[in-house]
Structure 1
Amino acid sequence: MNETSVKKWNKSTVADFLINNAIYVVLLLLVIVIICMDSSFLSVQNFKFIITQASTRVILALGVAGLLVLAGTDLSVGRMVGLSAVISASLLQAPDYARRIFPDMPQLPVFAPILLAILCTAIASTISGYVIAKFKVTAFIVTLSMQLIIYGVASLYYDYTGGSPIANLDERFKYFAQGSLRLGPVEIPFLVIYAAITVAIVWFIWNKTRLGKNMFAVGGNEEAATVSGVNVIRTIVLVSMLAGILYGFAGSLEVARTGSATNNIGNGYELDAIAACVVGGVSFNGGVGSIAGVVSGVLMFQVINYGLNYVDVSPYIQYIIKGLIIVIAVAIDTRKYIKKK
């Protein structure tokens, strides 16, 4: 190999590397700009805020990631969060609050309303998965329809409860999300612990169970998976059910963290979850993704979200930046897919 070919090879390799990792370059530049605008962004307190806020987003992203691995998507995530939030909040108001929505209801165990909220979102997501798998309807259309249905149901329930923010939550419920575990000088928020446990469970499902193997097989090549004996319908339905469970849990945690709920809580969360997954290497074309990638994608996206708010960047500019990040991430993913084929 002569010197000229070596130079060409090096240029080609560097160019491919920069193109394939352009999204990380963009995110790094954004972080650098944020730090230059306000160096106080680099603080332990801000880091704690970021990982705490990222915890519920990680749980949501893990649900979406499984559907993306199946070469699908889910546009109903945000509204699922809203539904679970209003259900759990309305049933877990402070017992001494004079304007409780259900004044005659006895004080319930914290886990009961949370499990009810999870059941509702799991059923809705399972229905979406069944329609996608059984009737071969595009996931985009099915989940868009479910988004509207869930929002309608959540809004009707919200109006029934009075149509005003559901606040004055039970202290036990707030502590469930806002509390922390102290280990010597280190204080670990409960939300981070819940996220870590969820990550471990989903990692086990993806990597150590038949469902996980079947999920990647169906996402990689559905026809080949069918020929190999994989029950495609069952796989899609179970992955969708798991996603619904995660949405309901995350929604309940989110309302306990923020302290109040309306029918609009969770609006737009689906975009952040999908973007974080794609940034973390989960392919829109299916069959590719890792738990570590999902977690890193969420953390990177949360750093950008929090950082832009920290330096008072206009919300409208933030929408533009998020849109560009999604386009770049999908373009890179598509380029890799085409090159592989």
Structure 2
Amino acid sequence: MIPKLIWREPIPTTTITSGASAVSGTGGAAPAAAPPRRRVVTLGDITGRESGGLVVLLVAVGILTLTSDEFLTTGNLSNLARQVAIFGIIAVGELLVILTAGIDLSVGSVLGLSGCVTALLLVRGMPILVALLLGVALGTVLGAINGLLVTRAKLPPFIATLGMLGIARGATLVITDAKTVQGLPTGFQTIANGTVLGIPNLLIIAALVTVVVWFLLTRTVFGRYVYAVGSNPESARLAGVPVRTVTISVYAISGLLAGLGGILLTSRLGAGIPTAGTGFELNAIAACVIGGASLFGAKGSAIGAATGALIMGVLNNGGNLLAINAFYLQIGIGVLILVAVGFDQLNARRAASSG
């Protein structure tokens, strides 16, 4: 038996129906007070979508442990953690957008621009902390602009963020003259390459980001709003959810984490690379889907996105250890994405037929 968590929550003034309609209690005769709504949530609802990704991860780790003597070595695990950490941070930010049924194709270019701007500021003598804050702020502003384009200009998320992808990448090439920015301070490089008690700093930062976003989505009103917007934005609006504010916020957070990822990648490489982040947006989306997120919104979790990033990292790392052609790995990851989306569609059809 799966244990059940039961809580009561009051019905708001506006009652959401299964469609986009709503009945408001502000006009006409005052409606009778409704009893508290009873909602039943099982642990299977909370962890079900992540369990598939965890099974795939455990199987991959088990196979690599048996087939490669180098996989569980300290050096390889440390290298794997550093590789996966940045993808995981970007994937968690992408997840927030996907939960609202949106998409952010600009995270890779925003990562590159934030990293190169930070590198340029450091080379010109700006203090490390100030340069870091400005780099993260730049990513946040670009993400907020994406949100404004979606909510105010009414552009489809795909088009708005595709445009930002081109703008950010072009701006990066212009300000760097398409050249690598070198000569970064040693203290800055230590941020991504250092360790705490043998644990890579990058892994610690990625874990903290994942925990913060998990808490945001599961323990705050904002998290409920995010899922509500992804489920049915019109019904959410009628229920009093600030849909525009929530949408802008998730794009801003996605940009913030992309900016953070750019700074960490620049720190790890010890240089600002104008082409850094190319293709990262596709990897972030793939990690979210493999981790159980639905591109139709309202389904997914921060832990699932981080798990998806870890699965991709383990597959790539294992392929290198076993000398598997990288092209075959790309095919395998593509198949994994199709299978994940296929299962999501199948579950959605089953839920619709049973309802």
TM-score by length of 1: 0.82
1:269 to 280, 302, 310: 280
Residue identity in the other structure for 2:304: G
2:104 pairs with one of 74, 79, 96: 74
Give me the whole-angstrom Cα distance separating, in 1, the residues matched to 2:59 and 2:209. 31
- Measure, in 2, the Cα distance between the counterparts of 1:115 and 1:22: 37
Q: Deviation of residue 22 (structure 1)?
A: 7.6
What does residue 235 of structure 2 align with? 224
Partner of 1:63: 93
Letter in 1 for 2:278: N
Q: Is the 8 A contact 2:144 2:251 kept in 1?
A: yes
**Partner amino acid, structure 2, of 1:151:** R
**Given that residues 91 and 287 in structure 2 are in contact (C-alpha distance below 8 angstroms), is that contact kept between their aligned partners in structure 1?**
yes
* Corresponding pairs, count: 303
Residue matched to 1:178: 193
Structure 1 residue 73: deviation in Å? 1.2
Q: Could you report, residue by residue, the CA deviation over 1:24-69 in whole angstroms, capped at 9, with x for unpaired residues? A: 7766665566556533223232222212222222211110000010
Q: Structure 1 residue 132 and structure 2 residue 150: aligned?
A: yes
1:92 aligns with 2:110: no
Residue aligning to 1:39: 69
In 2: Cα distance, 1:145 partner to 1:80 partner: 12
Q: How many angstroms does 1:108 deviate by?
A: 2.3
Question: Contact 2:294 / 2:300 at 8 angstroms: preserved in 1?
Answer: yes
| C-alpha contact (below 8 Å) 2:104/2:251 kept by paired residues | no
Counterpart AA for 1:152? G
Aligned to 1:111: 129
Identify the range of structure 1 (300-309 vs 59-68) with the bigger mean alpha-carbon deviation.
Answer: 300-309
1:264-318 deviations in Å (ceiling 9; x for gaps): 1111111111111111111111111122212222211211122122323333323
Corresponding residue for 2:21?
Answer: none
Q: CA separation in 1, counterparts of 2:56 and 2:194?
A: 35
Measured in 2, the distance between the counterparts of 1:127 and 1:287 equals 23
Match of 1:11?
none
Instruction: Give distance in 2, aligned partners of 1:152 and 1:125.
Output: 16
Return the offset for 1:240. 0.8
**Aligned residue runs from structure 1 range 166-315, under 5 A:** 166-182=181-197, 187-315=198-326
Distance 1:32 1:205, change over 3 A: closer
Letter in 1 for 2:185: D
| Aligned partner letter, 1:327 | L
CA contact (8 A) 2:315 2:329 kept: no
1:319 is aligned with what amino acid?
Answer: Q
User: Which residue does the alignment assign to 1:146?
Assistant: 164
Kindly tell me: are residues 21 and 206 of structure 1, through their superposed partners in 2, closer, same or farther at Cα, counting changes over 3 Å? closer
SS in 2 for 1:40: coil
Q: Kindly state the Cα deviation for residue 83 of structure 1 after the two structures are TM-superposed.
A: 0.6
Structure 2: tracts of 5 or more residues without a match: 1-49
**Contact 1:56 1:191 (8 Å CA) reproduced:** yes
Question: How far apart are the structure 1 equivalents of 2:200 and 2:248?
Answer: 33
Aligned counterpart in structure 2 of residue 50 of structure 1, from 59, 80, 83: 80
User: 2:109–2:168: 8 Å Cα contact kept in structure 1?
Assistant: yes
- CA–CA distance in structure 2, aligned partners of residues 278 and 216 of structure 1: 16
Deviates more, 1:309-318 or 1:263-272: 309-318
Change (3 A) 1:308 1:259: same
CA distance in 2, matches of 1:311, 1:83: 35
Contact map agreement 2:99 2:297 (CA 8 A) in 1: yes
Three-state SS of the structure 2 residue aligned to 1:41 is coil
* Contact 1:23/1:325 (<8 A) preserved: no
- Provide Cα deviations, 1:146-191, integer angstroms capped at 9, x if missing partner: 11111111111121xxx33222321010012211122xxxx12221
3-state SS, counterpart of residue 152 of structure 2: helix
